Chain A
Amino acid sequence: MVPGAFVRVYFPTHEKPRKPGLIHIGYILVSSPVEAMVAYTTSQRWPTGTPLSAGVRLFTAEEAKRLNQSRPFVLRLDVLAKLPMNPQWFPEIEKEGQGVIAIAPSRLQEELTDLATNLVRRRRDLIQMRGI
């Protein structure tokens, strides 16, 4: 599964980081042949009047449509999951298309890589790794 893909994934929850959660669309930020670092997305709207957290990228309806998604969504680079590439986490990985919804254009991929890099380097002391 290539980096830059929006893909169906059982994203784990904070409460149960070791177990597959509900199905979401995740963004493959980086990957190896056997694992992927996936960013959380949700179609729940960001609360009006609340400043955007570092690492949050809002996608308008128009941008969402270009990524084969029917609703505006929020991508959270501050909520990541490190997952093995298997059907337990990626339900369609063995099917044709592997559950990939869309591949982000190069410019968007670079924007998200840079955003995540800045976040990790600036806020490294605030990163919590949970679940291993």
Chain B
Amino acid sequence: MATARKKTPSTARDSGATKKVAITLRLDPDRAKRLQILAETENRTLTNYVETALIRDLSLREEAARVITILAAPGTSSTIAAEDVVRGAAESDAAFARRRDLAVDLWSIPDNG
């Protein structure tokens, strides 16, 4: 079983403006060996490999947490008929079809707030 423990951030490598905090990572020997092999195949140090994997995981979490918000005023409808979608001035048939599909998509989203 893998465990990680954060050290008191006393050990910091000062690389100009960015200070990195050292942490101790405890891993099963088998996992450590597998990670070492993966790191070597990417020509990285084990530390850099683990750091990159953690940064990637953080980015994915942040991306997943981003929410699209539609604020709906009272009295607005929950559906729109395709024929009610207003066409832009001088809009091509293809562009209008895409706008109309988008309108129907947007209006079909249920209230969950």
B85 touches A31 (CB 8 A): yes
Which residues of A have CB within 8 Å of B107?
Answer: 37, 82
Asked if B70 contacts A82 (CB within 8 A), the reply is yes
CB-CB < 8 A to B98: which residues of A? 110, 113-114, 117
Take A17-B113, A80-B71, A89-B73 as given contacts and tell me if A116 and B102 are in contact as well, using a CB distance cutoff of 8 Å.
yes
Majority SS at the chain B contact face: loop
Binds A, one of B19-27, B37-45, B49-57, B61-69: B61-69
Question: A31-B85, A128-B70 given as contacts; is B102 within 8 A of A113 (CB)?
Answer: yes
Point out the residue from B70, B77, B92, B100 that lies within 8 Å of A35, measured CB to CB. B77
List residues 6-38 of chain A with CB under 8 A from any CB of chain B: 11-14, 17-18, 29-33, 35, 37
Binary per-residue interface labels of chain A (72-104) against chain B in the complex, 1 for a CB within 8 Å, 0 otherwise: 000000111111100001000000000000010
Chain B, residue nearest A81 (CB): B71
A119 interface residue per 8 A CB criterion: yes
B95: shortest Cβ distance to chain A, in Å? 5
| Partner among B76, B91, B101, B110 whose Cβ is within 8 Å of the Cβ of A109 | B91
Shortest Cβ gap from B62 to chain A (Å):
9
Say yes or no: A129-B105 contact (C-beta < 8 A), given A4-B89, A81-B70: no
> Which one, A37, A84, A113, A119, contacts B75 given CB within 8 A?
A84
Asked whether any CB of chain B lies closer than 8 Å to the CB of A45, the reply is: no
Whether the pair A82, B95 counts as a contact (CB closer than 8 A) is no
Judging by beta carbons under 8 Å apart, are A132 and B76 in contact?
Answer: yes
**Among B78, B86, B105, B112, contact of A120 (Cβ-Cβ < 8 Å):** B105
In the complex, A17→B111 CA distance in Å?
A: 12
